[in-house]
Amino acid sequence: MADQDIILKAENISKQYRLGLVGTGTISHDLNRWWHRIRGKQDPYLKVGESNDRSTKGQSEYVWALQDINFEVKRGEVLGIIGKNGAGKSTLLKILSKVTGPTTGEIKTRGRIASLLEVGTGFHGEMTGRENIYLNGAILGMTKKEIASKIDEIIDFSGCERYIDTPVKRYSSGMTVRLAFAVAAFLEPEILVVDEVLAVGDAEFQKKAIGKMQDISRGEGRTVLFVSHNMAAVKSLCTRCIVLENGKVVFEGDQNKSVNYYLSVEKNKEQSILEERTDRVGNQKLKIIDVSFFNNLNDQVSEVISGEYLKIRVKIKKSNFKIDYSKLIAAVSFLDNDFNISLSYISDETGFNFFNLENKDYFDLIIPNLYLRAGNYRIRLLITEFDTKPNNFIDLIENAVSINVLAGDLWNTGNFNREGNHAILPGNFEIKYL
């Protein structure tokens, strides 16, 4: 760590676990490891093991939760660590926090690390909130005098003053997280490690916590490592991210590119089943055979952040029937889990036409800002001619495809919207031909 600005460095970090009921290994495994060690040879079980893909059944009883992780974090930087469930994010934070050790590799740090990994971690249930503040401070290496000088700020920030002299075992999970975050943030660690625990807190506390982390990094020059599935929070707070997949770093870059990479998906190699759907209504002069979604970098995605850009590409198959493109209308509706329409886009209401479709086999629906609350939405697709009686439908498919909308800071207030079953505002859109 020659560079004085680098405060944390991970070198070739790997972590191996043994699956099943046996934890650390059997006596035969321990003897085998000992025999290799006294002969100066490598642990034989480091050569076995499969990647950490939780969705498939493997052949080995060993699994690599992390493999060859390398990165550096500079002083004052906010590093986001993102990935799907089971990607290895929490394992990496536990290694960085020295809760567990790596199987191979080395962590180099400068200064104290304060960790907020899971609800209640480091708290003693029988001790009061006040006593736990002193306990956590002592673990961080603070003197009693240093802790006492900060305790009023900690209690005030946590919002738990009324219960501060009550045993923590009587706290709700939200109260516990409030107090734990306040302790970790105000006892001035050089590195603050925050896992997904903020999701337990309410909207008001999440806003306070993100604001405090911004103050810590930008104002006080301390480093934050932040894990979250809230991509809007990652984009607003982090300066750089690493993306984990099956225990490996698959992307590293600025927060916007990292989030876009995380949300992007590879196109399924199989032919879309939309073409084979028989539960469709219409005369099939045109037939919808595929639907895909793209972000503002033109990467294909399966998820989008509320309020952000979305392009819907509808691919069609033409027939020998004559089409009057001047009368063509396309409609895309977003339906919630109760099959209520949350938002609809209809091409004729915006003044766009389909003349160029004569020479193309797709059209793009551009939505600059998707004004939908967080949640999973089913898509209803309709192509028809101007007379919208059912017998004039060209193609109508219910539940054609789905898209997941993630919470976003829609109004730039620092508050992330909650899941709901209705639209916030009608969005703006336009049809474009590329």
Q: Is the pLDDT of residue 255 over 50?
A: yes
pLDDT digit string, tens, across residues 354-394: 877 888 889 888 888 898 888 889 899 999 887 655 557 89
Q: Is the pLDDT of residue 251 over 90?
A: yes
- State residue 287's pLDDT score: 92
Q: Is the pLDDT of residue 243 over 90?
A: yes
Question: In which residue ranges of the chain is CATH 2.70.50.60 found?
Answer: 273-432
**Stretch 184-202: mean pLDDT:** 77
Query: Over pLDDT 70: what percentage of the chain?
Result: 82
Q: Is the pLDDT of residue 246 over 50?
A: yes
Angstrom distance (rounded) from CA 46 to CA 74: 31
Given a contact cutoff of 8 angstroms between Cβ atoms, the answer to whether 96 and 193 are in contact is yes
Q: Is the pLDDT of residue 266 over 70?
A: no
Angstrom distance (rounded) from CA 362 to CA 85: 35
Of the given ranges (19-23, 70-74, 194-198), which has the lowest mean pLDDT?
Answer: 19-23
**Stretch 54-78: mean pLDDT:** 78
Check residue 98 and report its DSSP letter: T
CATH code matching the domain that covers 273-432, chosen among 3.40.630.30, 2.70.50.60, 3.10.290.10, 3.30.70.260: 2.70.50.60
**Stretch 249-272: mean pLDDT:** 73
Higher pLDDT, 419 or 115: 115
Two tokens, residue 147 = 């802790």
Question: In which residue ranges of the chain is CATH 3.40.50.300 found?
Answer: 6-11+67-263
| Residue 177: its H or E element | helix 173-186
Check residue 419 and report its DSSP letter: B
**Stretch 281-288: mean pLDDT:** 89
Angstrom distance (rounded) from CA 430 to CA 311: 10
pLDDT digit string, tens, across residues 122-156: 788 899 999 989 988 887 777 888 889 989 999 99
Q: Is the pLDDT of residue 5 over 70?
A: yes
Query: Over pLDDT 90: what percentage of the chain?
Result: 22
**Stretch 178-184: mean pLDDT:** 85
- State residue 127's pLDDT score: 92
What SS3 state is found at 57? coil
**Stretch 205-210: mean pLDDT:** 80
The dihedrals phi and psi of 274, each to the nearest 5 degrees, come to -60, -35
In sequence order, which residues have a C-beta less than 8 Å from that of residue 191 and are 6 or more positions away?
A: 7, 8, 73, 109, 111, 112, 113, 114, 222, 223, 224, 225
Is residue 316 packed enough to be buried (19+ CB in 10 Å), middle (13-18) or exposed (0-12)? buried
Higher pLDDT, 389 or 318: 318
- State residue 350's pLDDT score: 67
CATH code matching the domain that covers 6-11+67-263, chosen among 3.30.460.10, 3.30.2020.10, 3.40.50.720, 3.40.50.300: 3.40.50.300
Q: Kindly indicate the confidence band of residue 424, based on its pLDDT and cuts at 50, 70 and 90.
A: very low
- State residue 146's pLDDT score: 86
Q: What average pLDDT is seen over the chain? A: 81
Angstrom distance (rounded) from CA 95 to CA 297: 34
